Amino acid sequence: MRNLLLVILRFGGFLLFLFLELLSFFLIVQFNQEQQAIFNNSWANFTGSIDQGIHNAIGYTHLRRANDSLAAVNARLYEEVLSYRELVDGLERDSLYPSNLDSLLIDTVYQLIPASVIRNSISEHHNYLLLDKGSADGVGPNMGVILDQGIVGIVRSVGRHHALVMSILHRQSHPSASIKGTNYFGSLTWKEKDPRILLLENVPRHATPEKGDTIITSGYSLIFPKGIPIGTIQQVDSSDGGSDTYNIWVKLFADLASLDRVYVVKKSTQQEQEDLVQQARDE
């Protein structure tokens, strides 16, 4: 006790200084937006590089599985390319071939940026992922993150070599999805129970969802391309107190608990579309 008192007397000034500086630092980070952003960014970079290191160290264990799935994706894509090529070929021979088809095709170009997930959570209310690609690789805020079978989330903020993605397993995530073969759509939300089951809300009554139907992205949001398969209908709740919408439980194709390779969707016209929407809002 005596010794402790002596220490406090001896180093009292320094301890007080340290304490008050920490207090100031806390105040700065807590109440000044700019400084808070810098702090968060640095913190994300720091933890990101640690996660990256761990990922690098144990990443090779997944190589085999990653290879297999990449090969499968390649094959499917090649098939799709072939079918489109045939389609375009047929159109060219058609006398009604529209002269502006080329510009139409170019308008819908998506660029996919492959990325690895280096941090992932599925257990909290607000789940985020961290990717190993950032602004240096062309990733920007509000871009969608997808798999070949399913959607993962939306990029919230980017550093130079990392991107923070709001998972679809997040309270505030409401991507738009529709029932394959129809134009009826609703918003997909997570009910915080099972990371494989999401709820498709606000589907109008006159739609006829059946168990086993496929749910795809609607393309109405500016973020995800149209037609990515998300999951299948597991159950349709219609007895919801006389409301005029269905609630549909969707079982995801993708297992969000074990993500490795994902694609960030960069849409060439995304900025333009966002500008238009913004303009419309401003008016």
Task: Please say which residue, 25 or 84, places its beta carbon nearer to another protein.
Answer: 25
The span from the CA of 86 to the CA of 81, in Å, is: 9
- Among 23, 54, 91, 105, the residue binding another protein under the rule CB under 8 A is 23
Single-letter amino acid code for the residue at 31: F
DSSP calls for 60-72: GGGHHHHHHHHHH
Q: In whole angstroms, how close is the CB of 183 to another protein at the nearest point?
A: 49
Q: In whole angstroms, how close is the CB of 218 to another protein at the nearest point?
A: 42
Token pair 């959607």 in the structure block, residue: 151
Judge contact between 245 and 201, C-beta under 8 A. yes
194 binds another protein (CB under 8 A): no
Interface of this chain with another protein, residues 74 to 103, rule: CB under 8 A:
none
- Among 6, 26, 136, 255, the residue binding another protein under the rule CB under 8 A is 26
Judge contact between 267 and 275, C-beta under 8 A. no
43 binds another protein (CB under 8 A): no
Cβ contacts of 251 within 8 Å, gap of 6 or more: 196, 197, 231, 232, 233, 234
Number of residues that bind another protein (CB under 8 A): 22
N-term to C-term CA, the chain: 71
What is residue 12's three-state secondary structure?
helix
- Among 6, 7, 40, 42, the residue binding another protein under the rule CB under 8 A is 42
- Among 5, 6, 30, 107, the residue binding another protein under the rule CB under 8 A is 30
6 binds another protein (CB under 8 A): no
Q: In whole angstroms, how close is the CB of 10 to another protein at the nearest point?
A: 11
38 binds another protein (CB under 8 A): yes
The span from the CA of 199 to the CA of 248, in Å, is: 6
Q: In whole angstroms, how close is the CB of 174 to another protein at the nearest point?
A: 34
Judge contact between 218 and 177, C-beta under 8 A. yes
Q: Which residues bind another protein (CB under 8 A)?
A: 12-14, 16-17, 20-21, 23-32, 34-35, 38-39, 42
